[in-house]
Amino acid sequence: MPLIAVLAGDGIGPEVTAEARRVLEALGLDLTFEEAPVGGAGYLASGMPLPPDTLALAKRADAVLFGAIGDPRFDALERRLRPEAALLGLRRELGLFANIRPATLFPGLEDASPLKPEVVANLDIVIVRELTGDVYFGEKGHRTTLEGLRQGYDHMSYDEREVERIAIVGFEMAKRRRRKLCSVDKANVLETSQLWREVVNEVSVSYPEVALTHMYVDNAAMQLVRRPSEFDVIVTGNLFGDILSDQASMCAGSIGMLPSASLSDWSGANGMYEPIHGSAPDIAGTGKANPCAAILSAAMLLRHSLADEASAQRIEAAVKAAIASGARTADLGGTLSTREMGDAVLRELV
Ligand code: NAD
Ligand code: IPM
Ligand code: MN
């Protein structure tokens, strides 16, 4: 019986994860769930954001359903004790180098985006974000003092193996879709980006059926607002992917709509699934959070880690139908609570 580790985390994490779990349970599949604290909750429980038992559960499980971490109470702690360290630690320990972040506009949400309906119509993008390298994992992040001035260092780096494996994910994804891959970098300035571009070009030789383009990240940010539906698959580094995916979420109506899968290979073993949003301290505890991103992450879990495409599509169809029926949380301009939105999805589950 597949084991799902449920790491709900902080803020709205537990609120939205509860709805995702309800939907998974309603499918009537043979799943077992085991919960463990992570992030600020992990720190409170054991003095560590990623308690060893939580990491062990994540490794033992067939897949991880992750909520969100982050708590302003712990922002002043040293970096390794902050809630964010748990998420980065899980990604590193599970080898989750490929982060798949689909941004699709669900019919009916054209008006929820601040962009014009005709701009966001037909939005169907996948952002493939590299997740275990770049400036996030550079060895030398530290503070120092030079000539009486405080200085901070972060080290941006990629090696060719890291770029190659994420490029392959990008091409494979594009091959299965509209066969357009846009690689986003800053090769006009950064050495890491020049290497990135070189390696992506080398990998492209094996994918003649995929039309590859390169774009600088500043232009990509602009094009995502100008004509987002031009994109099919975007492959990019850790930092650029983080920023561009939050931006892309507003083309889809709300950050509360975007799920993600973090994978170490195509088998989906030990995959981790989470909304792209954070713990949203500003609305935590108010019941206003949109659980759709978490519910859609559960669908990605079934697809990638449990090879259950049919159940994944059942969930996605239910979310689509709920949205089409007018179900809306506050971020989408409606009045439903997190639980009521979960109910609306459950009603459409067939
Ligand atoms: P955030 O994503 O938590 O919130 C940004 C804004 O979007 C807020 O106004 C929030 O209310 C809104 N929002 C987010 N999710 C929503 C949802 N499901 N429904 C409705 N509204 C939603 O980003 P932030 O405020 O920059 O960060 C807050 C904390 O979360 C920080 O500690 C940060 O480090 C952490 N964080 C964690 C993750 C993660 O766990 N993967 C991701 C991003 C940020
Ligand atoms: C995300 C978050 C994380 C990131 C933070 C919380 C470490 O923003 O999952 O998108 O930057 O990757
Ligand atoms: Mn982010």
Q: Is 28 labelled as part of a ligand binding site?
A: no
What tokens were used for 54?
């939580």
Comparing 46-50, 100-104, 151-155, the range with the smallest average pLDDT is 151-155
Q: Which residue, by CA, sits nearest to atom 6 of ligand 1?
A: 280
Q: Which residues does ligand 2 sit against, CB inside 6 Å? A: 84, 87-88, 242, 276, 278
Q: Are residues 189 and 286 in the same domain?
A: no
Q: Is residue 24 situated within a structural domain?
A: yes
Given this model, what pLDDT does residue 99 score? 98
Q: Is residue 263 situated within a structural domain?
A: no
pLDDT at 109 over 80: yes
What tokens were used for 223?
């094009």
Q: Looking at residue 92, which CATH number applies to its domain?
A: 3.40.718.10
Model confidence at 24, in pLDDT bands (50, 70, 90)?
Answer: very high
Q: How far, rounded to the nearest angstrom, does the alpha carbon of residue 166 sit from its chain's CA centroid?
A: 15
Q: For the chain, where are the E strands, in sequence order?
A: 3-9, 32-35, 63-68, 98-104, 124-130, 142-146, 149-153, 180-185, 211-216, 233-236, 261-263, 271-273
Given this model, what pLDDT does residue 91 score? 98
Residue (of 105, 101, 149) closest to 129 by Cα position: 101
- Angle between helix axes 217-226 and 238-251 (nearest 10 degrees) is 10
CB neighbours of residue 247 within 10 Å: 16
Last residue of a domain, one of 206, 223, 251: 251
How do residues 253-263 score in pLDDT, each as one tens digit?
999 999 999 99
Mean pLDDT (whole number) for 276-286: 98
Q: Is residue 108 situated within a structural domain?
A: no
Residue (of 19, 44, 39) closest to 290 by Cα position: 19
Mean pLDDT (whole number) for 94-117: 97
Q: Which atom of ligand 1 is nearest to the CA of 274?
A: 41
Given this model, what pLDDT does residue 266 score? 84
Task: Tell me how far apart the alpha carbons of residues 129 and 148 are, in angstroms, rounded to a whole number.
Answer: 38
Model confidence at 138, in pLDDT bands (50, 70, 90)?
Answer: confident
Q: Is 59 labelled as part of a ligand binding site?
A: no
Task: Tell me how far apart the alpha carbons of residues 340 and 71 are, in angstroms, rounded to a whole number.
Answer: 25
Q: Are residues 93 and 119 in the same domain?
A: no
Its sign, for the CA torsion 61, 67, 73, 75, is positive
pLDDT at 140 over 80: no
pLDDT at 141 over 90: no
Q: Are residues 235 and 285 in the same domain?
A: no
Domain range holding 76? 1-97+269-350
Given this model, what pLDDT does residue 142 score? 86
Given this model, what pLDDT does residue 212 score? 98
How do residues 199-213 score in pLDDT, each as one tens digit?
999 999 999 999 999
Q: Following DSSP, what letter does each residue of 126-190 receive, concatenated?
A: EEEEE-S-GGGS-TT-EEEEETTEEEEE------HHHHHHHHHHHHHHHHTTTSEEEEEE-TTT-
Model confidence at 235, in pLDDT bands (50, 70, 90)?
Answer: very high
Residue 207 Cα to ligand 1 middle (Å): 37
Given this model, what pLDDT does residue 238 score? 98
How do residues 146-193 score in pLDDT, each as one tens digit?
899 999 999 999 999 999 999 999 999 999 999 999 999 999 999 999
Q: Are 104 and 124 in contact (CB under 8 A)?
A: yes
Given this model, what pLDDT does residue 35 score? 98
Q: Is residue 258 situated within a structural domain?
A: no
Task: Tell me how far apart the alpha carbons of residues 153 and 74 are, in angstroms, rounded to a whole number.
Answer: 22
How do residues 290-318 score in pLDDT, each as one tens digit?
999 999 999 999 999 999 999 999 999 99
Q: Is 288 labelled as part of a ligand binding site?
A: yes
Residue 314 Cα to ligand 1 middle (Å): 27
Mean pLDDT (whole number) for 60-73: 98
Catalytic residues: 136, 186, 218, 242, 246
Q: Is residue 257 situated within a structural domain?
A: no
Looking at the predicted complex, does its ipTM rise above 0.85?
Answer: yes
Arithmetic mean of pLDDT over the chain: 97
What tokens were used for 144?
């120092």
Q: Are residues 300 and 173 in the same domain?
A: no
Mean pLDDT (whole number) for 22-27: 98
Overall number of domains in the chain? 2
Q: Is residue 171 situated within a structural domain?
A: yes
CB neighbours of residue 197 within 10 Å: 17
Q: Are residues 18 and 51 in the same domain?
A: yes
